[in-house]
Amino acid sequence: MEAGIPTLAEPSGSGRRLSAFWTRAACFGALWGVGEVTLGAFLHALRLPFAGVLMAALAVIMLVAQRQLYRRRGLSLATGLVAALVKTLSPGGVILGPMAAILVEATLVELCLPAWPGSVVAAMAAGSLCSLWSAFQQLFTQYLLYGRNIIELYLAMLRRASGWLNLPAGAGWWVLGGVIALLVVVGTTSGWLGVRLGVVSRQRLQTPGAGESW
């Protein structure tokens, strides 16, 4: 890591040094952006179901862990802004959706964490919200694309499917509830992992010699 570490003394030829706040946002935003451009694009190409939930979980782990290291208000949002800009480097087609997803996830974490940055419960809440958002983002995008008719169509499909399968009324809501519960479990786990990662990284950064080996 010694060789070739970029300096932020003159980031864009302006001669103005970036503040520690923006430097940290740049580093973690770059990390998130790289993940979105590489792993996100790969999962998108594989057409895996709930790939967005996986990406959101990774983002939550990183954002929550980052807030364990630096308890500065607005840092998660700034990191999201940088990551969304890094996403513009993605060679894929339409990037508005992923960019919006990044910004919404960053905003949700930002809203949940400032009051209790070190709280596991707040981190779990942030994880759950992000997980739910990423799952329902697809529906939201379709609503934006096709208008409210798409919702009516999906509801009609659900009713018809229930009729064909002779399912009792309200069975669809139980399925929906199950999916939401699963998403909440994934979200809370990612929030908890974020807190753990943050605490462990903090200890390693502070302890002489400990960061060298993993």
Q: Does 23 bind another protein (CB under 8 A)?
A: yes
Binding residues among 50-89 for another protein as defined by CB under 8 A: 58, 61-62, 65-66, 69, 78, 81-82, 85-86, 88-89
- Closest approach of another protein to the CB of residue 108, in Å: 20
- Closest approach of another protein to the CB of residue 44, in Å: 12
Q: Could you say which DSSP state residue 39 is in?
A: I
Q: Does 42 bind another protein (CB under 8 A)?
A: no
The upper half-sphere exposure of residue 22, i.e. CA atoms within 13 Å in the direction of its Cβ, equals 7
Q: Specify the residue, 147 or 178, whose C-beta has the smaller distance to another protein.
A: 147
Give Cβ neighbours of residue 110 (< 8 Å, ≥ 6 apart): 73, 74, 76, 77, 80
The one among 20, 121, 139, 151 contacting another protein by CB under 8 A:
20
Query: What amino acid occupies position 47?
Result: R
Going residue by residue from 106 to 135, which x/- string records binding to another protein, judged by CB under 8 A?
------------------------------
